[in-house]
Each structure stands twice: as structure tokens, then as C-alpha cells.
Amino acid sequence: MKWTWVLVGVLLSFGALSLGKETLDFPEYDGKDRVHDLSAKNYKSVMRKYDVMVVYYHDHPGSSRAAQRQFDTEELALERAAQVLDEFDDEDIGVGLIDAKKDKAVAKKLDLHESDSIFIITDDEVIEYDGELEADTLVDFIYDVLEDPVEIIDNSKELRGFENIEEDIKLVGYFKSHKSEHFEAYADAAEEFHPHIKFFATFNARVAKALELKLNEVDFYEPFLDDPVVIPGKPYTEDELVDFIEDHDRPTLRKMQPHNMYEIWEDDVDGEHIVAFAEEDDIDGFEFLEILKEVAEDNTDNPDLSIVWIDPDDFPLLVPHWEKTFGIDLSHPQIGVIEADDGDSVWLDMDDGDDLPSADELEDWIEDVLDGDIDPDDDDDDDDDDDDDDDDDDDDDDDDDDDDDDDDDDDDDDDDDDDDDDDDDDDDDDDDDDDDDDDDDDDDDDDDDDDDDDDDDDDDDDDDDDDDDDDDDDDDDDDDDDDDDDDDDDDDDDDDDDDDDDDDDDDDDDDDDDDDDDDDDDDDDY
């Protein structure tokens, strides 16, 4: 009896686990069409139904099957996102499509300029989404858009939450109240960058003291750096804040994430990116990431340095493509410089993660990259040299084949000449023999003498012909040999030159505050 109840308990536990897993999974598409095809006739009436409109301004797929399949996949992702957004209670959110070929006029009226992009349209602004077209990532971004541009920090728990944000640019300011004109200027500036940059504010003097903020002062934090930069010139106008942020919105170390991957890749430095691959949950990856943070801290004032960190765990479907394209093993930390347009790259040799560089060694390598001493374009030149060498080898092979063909032709001609001479000799002998027989009947003695003379003459003629043919053949062979020797010498010289060229080219916060008692919310928490 006890075992029966044990079995029932086990089965129920499995059912609970299964139900829990299904609850946590992203909902399956229910088959209902929620995405609108927007046109000049219907876009106004459709958009009036919603508080927020998500619009995919897409390229026309045309007659290409591959393009049509890709568009079908993207439309399905939008349908799944629309299904989730349909259940959102606070706002009515619609999803629509605009064809860049058929409805370009509609896109122009909505101020959508770049095709193959997703835009979130609210009452007062249009926000472009620069992430991957996946339902969960898109929904996450839309929820961020719907949040207030400025988040208020009012106690120690919220302060710890602020301090634990390290992967994004963040700003925090201390103001007298919501009605302060300086806070209003700060909030207006936040709307310009929302939700890509996180803005925080406090009206609590104790929180401000913990952050070492003075009244109407704003601090700017780079990702992964503990110490902020105090924005000079307080109190600020909206324009002054916007100008400062625009001048500092390319961090020294930034993380590529699914919601910002295209935005980051388009923000290259002189057409190149310094990219570091490291798994944060891996021991070597975590160690390498700490080295990167140290380098970023030491070079935060260098406007030309911006390292893009990619955690392969965030992009599992792209890992095989990256490994094949760049020729690297992403099971170990890697750092290299990549051409943004064509993907050419050069990577630091780290012995498969067994020999991680020190911060000083990494800084030296980065300095060489910034100085142009390490450049992916150099690899292009090497590839061109290799192609030239291959062409030279092909030409040499063709020359050798031609020489062999010439030798074969000469040999065939010699054989034909010898055969013709032999045939002529046989014919002459036969004629002489016939004449000898006739002459024998008339006069044996005279004919014997004549035959001897004829034979001697024929032999002399044959010998002369053979000697002439041999001389001609010898001359032809000598000429061919000389030509072959000259070609070989030229080929050797070319190969030596190529080898010399190749040789020259080769030479050429997490903190421990979580351990504090969360129930203590008094002054000591600050």
C-alpha cells in the first residue's frame, strides 16, 4: 500500500514538472492571424486601434523562393510576438507589415526610412529595433520601450539593483523633486535614448550620499567600469546632456546582445571591430573577461578603442558560422580584429586558451592593431600572392606540356623520315636486282661490274641521306634541349622570386551586499 502511494507521488511529481516546463516555455503559435498588411487604404484605421504599433518595413521578396521562405519565417516570428502582446493588459499593441515595393508611400508618411527594419511607433516617437528577429527578443525590447524612460531609486534594495547593472551604459542623477526643472531636462534627454541607454534618478539624500552625488549632478557609467564620469557643467540643459551622451555612447568594452547586435556591428571604428569571444560561465572565459575589463579600465580615455565582447552562449545558432568564417575554435577564449564589411580577420594566438595573455600583453597587441601593424587587409595581400604563385605554377605546367608535345612531334617526324628512307632503299634494291637479272642474260661480266658500281652508288646515297637526317635530328634535338633548358631556367628564376617574396611577406560589482539582511531597510543600508 505504501508503495502504491509512492508511485502515485512520483507520477504526480512528473506531471507537475511537465506542467511547469510548459508554463515556462514561449507559447506555441495558435494559428490565428494577428499581423496586419498595412497599405495606403487601411493603415490609418488599423493604427487607430492600438496604443503602440510594431511595424516591420520589409523588402519585397519577389519571385525568389529563398527570399519568400525567409520572409515566411520572419512573419511567423511576428505572429508569435503578436500573440503574446495581445495578452498585454496595460497597452493595446498591434503588429503590421509594410512592403517596401508596394507601400513605400505609407512608410514615408510614417517616417520609416530604412527598409528591412522593425520600428515601434508610439504617440510621440518612432524607435528602431536593431536586434535579431526572434519573438522573445522582440517582445522583451517592446516591454522595455513601454517602461518609463527614467527609473527612480528610493531605497537600498533599488540601489543594489542599480549597482548590479554592468553590461549597459547607465546614468544617475540627484534632483530635488519630480517638479524640478533640472529633472525635467534630464527626463527629456532620457527620452532621446530610451530604451537603449538606462537612466536613473533619486530624490533621496541618503541614496545620493551613497552614490556620492551632489544636487543636480549626473554621473555617467560605462559598461563594466566601477568608477563613473561626472558630467561637467551642472545644472544641465537637455541639449548639454544629449551632446555629452552622444560623445560618449561608444564604450571601451561593450557586450553584443540579441537586442542590439546590428546596432553594435554598424558602429565600427574605421571599418574594423576588435572582437573578443568568451563564455562568462566558463573558467577560462571568465578569467579572460576580467583581463578585458582591466584593459578597458586602463584605456577608457582612448576614443579609438572599443572592444566588442560576444558570449557564444547568447548566439548558439551562429557559433558554427563564426567558427567557419573566422577559422577559430569558440570553445576557448578568442580575440581578433575583423573587417566589418567583408569579415576578413586576424586573431591573437592564445594556444587554444591554455596561455591567456596578461593585461600588458593584450594592451601591446591592441596597440599594434590601432597603429595598423596588425591589419586584416594584410592577409588579403598574402592571399593575392598565393594566387599569383598558383598561376605561375599553372603556366609552368603548361610550358612543360608544350615542350613535351614538341618533343613527341619531333620524334614522330624522325620516325617517319626513317621509314621513308628505308622504303626508298628497298625500292632501289628491287629495281637493281631486276636489272641485274636482265643483264646476266646478256653479259655477265659487264653486268657484274655495273652492279658493283650501282650498289656502291646506292650505298653512298643511302649513307648520305641517313647522315643528313641524323644531322637534322641532332640539330632539332639540340634546339629543343636548349629551349627546355631556357624554359626551366626561367621557371626556376620565377619560382625563386616568388619564394623570396613569400619569405619577405612572412617576416613582414558583483558585491556581497546580497548577504545583508533584506529586512533591514534603515539608514545603515545606505
Biggest CA–CA distance in the chain, Å, is 155
24-33, 35-44, 193-202: range with lowest mean pLDDT: 24-33
* Higher per-residue pLDDT: 96 or 388: 96
| Domains: count for the chain | 4
Q: What is the dihedral of CA 165, 171, 177, 182, to 10 degrees?
A: -170
Q: Has residue 514 been placed in a domain?
A: no
Distance of CA 358 to the CA centre of its chain: 26
Name the nearest CA neighbour of 262 among 402, 405, 118. 118
How many beta carbons lie within 10 A of that of residue 235, not counting itself?
A: 17
Q: Which of 145, 162, 179 is the last residue of a domain?
A: 145
- The pLDDT > 70 percentage for the chain reads 66
Residue 397 has pLDDT above 70, yes or no: no
Do 363 and 326 share a structural domain? yes
Q: Which of 145, 175, 206 is the last residue of a domain?
A: 145
Do 138 and 114 share a structural domain? yes
Q: Has residue 491 been placed in a domain?
A: yes
Name the nearest CA neighbour of 277 among 315, 303, 251, 324. 315
Tell me the range of 379-393, 417-431, 502-516 where mean pLDDT is highest. 379-393
Q: What is the dihedral of CA 420, 422, 427, 431, to 10 degrees?
A: 140
Distance of CA 345 to the CA centre of its chain: 9
- The pLDDT > 90 percentage for the chain reads 60
- 311-343 pLDDT tens trace: 999 999 999 999 999 999 999 999 999 998 888
Query: What is the predicted pLDDT for the residue at 351?
Result: 72
* 283-299: average pLDDT: 95
85-94, 138-147, 346-355: range with lowest mean pLDDT: 346-355
**Is cis: bond before 195, omega within 30 of 0?**
yes
Q: Has residue 417 been placed in a domain?
A: yes
SS3 state at 62: coil
- Structural domain boundaries enclosing 163: 149-249
Do 397 and 368 share a structural domain? no
CA-only gyration radius of the chain, Å: 42
Q: Which of 249, 284, 310 is the last residue of a domain?
A: 249
Query: What is the predicted pLDDT for the residue at 424?
Result: 40
Q: Is the dihedral of CA 75, 81, 87, 91 positive or negative?
A: negative
Q: Is 108 exposed, middle or buried (0-12, 13-18, 19+ CB in 10 A)?
A: exposed
pLDDT band, very low/low/confident/very high, at 46 (cuts 50, 70, 90): very high
Measured CA to CA, the distance from residue 202 to residue 264 in angstroms comes to 30
Measured CA to CA, the distance from residue 138 to residue 261 in angstroms comes to 13
- 138-189 pLDDT tens trace: 999 999 999 999 999 999 999 999 999 999 999 999 999 999 999 999 999 9
Q: Has residue 346 been placed in a domain?
A: yes
Name the nearest CA neighbour of 192 among 140, 124, 114, 93. 124
* Higher per-residue pLDDT: 503 or 386: 386
> DSSP letters along 432-500, please?
HHHHHHHHHHH-HHHHHHHHHHHHHHHHHHHHHHHHHHHHHHHHHHHHHHHHHHHHHHHHHHHHHHHHH
pLDDT band, very low/low/confident/very high, at 123 (cuts 50, 70, 90): confident
Query: What is the predicted pLDDT for the residue at 209?
Result: 97
Do 114 and 154 share a structural domain? no
Query: What is the predicted pLDDT for the residue at 353?
Result: 58
Distance of CA 243 to the CA centre of its chain: 32
* Higher per-residue pLDDT: 406 or 26: 26
Residue 480 has pLDDT above 70, yes or no: no
Q: Has residue 188 been placed in a domain?
A: yes
Do 353 and 455 share a structural domain? no
Dig out the grid coordinates for 16 from the structure.
507537475
Do 407 and 323 share a structural domain? no
Helices (H), ranges, 61-180: 65-85, 104-109, 135-146, 156-163
208-222, 312-326, 403-417, 457-471: range with lowest mean pLDDT: 457-471
Fill in the DSSP letter of residue 358.
P
Half-sphere exposure of 127 (CA within 13 A, CB side): 26
Q: Has residue 405 been placed in a domain?
A: yes
Average predicted confidence (pLDDT) for the chain: 77
In total, the chain counts a number of residues equal to 526
Half-sphere exposure of 173 (CA within 13 A, CB side): 25
Which residues, 6 or more positions from 514, have their beta carbon under 8 angstroms from its beta carbon?
Answer: 160
What do you get for the CA distance between the two ends of the chain, in Å? 58
* Higher per-residue pLDDT: 209 or 474: 209
Matching residue, cell 534630464: 186
Query: What is the predicted pLDDT for the residue at 156?
Result: 95
SS3 state at 308: strand
Which residues, 6 or more positions from 219, have their beta carbon under 8 angstroms from its beta carbon?
Answer: 171, 172, 173, 211, 213, 228, 229, 230, 231
- 48: domain CATH number is 3.40.30.10
Task: Please give, one letter per residue, the 3-state secondary structure of 255-302.
Answer: ECCCCCHHHHHHCCECCEEEEEECCCCCHHHHHHHHHHHHHHHHCCCC
Do 166 and 222 share a structural domain? yes
Query: What is the predicted pLDDT for the residue at 25?
Result: 64
Name the nearest CA neighbour of 261 among 329, 311, 328, 305. 311
Helices (H), ranges, 299-375: 319-326, 359-371
Q: Has residue 11 been placed in a domain?
A: no
Do 348 and 407 share a structural domain? no
Measured CA to CA, the distance from residue 47 to residue 11 in angstroms comes to 49
Q: Has residue 3 been placed in a domain?
A: no
Measured CA to CA, the distance from residue 184 to residue 135 in angstroms comes to 34
* Higher per-residue pLDDT: 382 or 113: 113
How many beta carbons lie within 10 A of that of residue 450, not counting itself?
A: 15
Query: Backbone dihedral region of 224: left (phi > 0), alpha (psi from -120 to 50 degrees) or beta?
Result: left
Measured CA to CA, the distance from residue 294 to residue 363 in angstroms comes to 10
Name the nearest CA neighbour of 171 among 224, 206, 132, 217. 217
Do 85 and 45 share a structural domain? yes
| Residue 165 · residue 55 · CB < 8 Å | no
125-134, 200-209, 278-287, 392-401: range with lowest mean pLDDT: 392-401
pLDDT band, very low/low/confident/very high, at 442 (cuts 50, 70, 90): very low
Residue 484 has pLDDT above 80, yes or no: no
* 42-50: average pLDDT: 96
Query: What is the predicted pLDDT for the residue at 24?
Result: 53
- Supply the pTM of this predicted model: 0.68
Matching residue, cell 521578396: 61
* 179-204: average pLDDT: 96
Query: What is the predicted pLDDT for the residue at 239?
Result: 97
**Is cis: bond before 320, omega within 30 of 0?**
no
Do 107 and 195 share a structural domain? no
Measured CA to CA, the distance from residue 466 to residue 418 in angstroms comes to 8
pLDDT band, very low/low/confident/very high, at 27 (cuts 50, 70, 90): confident
Query: What is the predicted pLDDT for the residue at 97?
Result: 98
Do 439 and 405 share a structural domain? yes
| Residue 342 · residue 372 · CB < 8 Å | no
Do 480 and 400 share a structural domain? yes
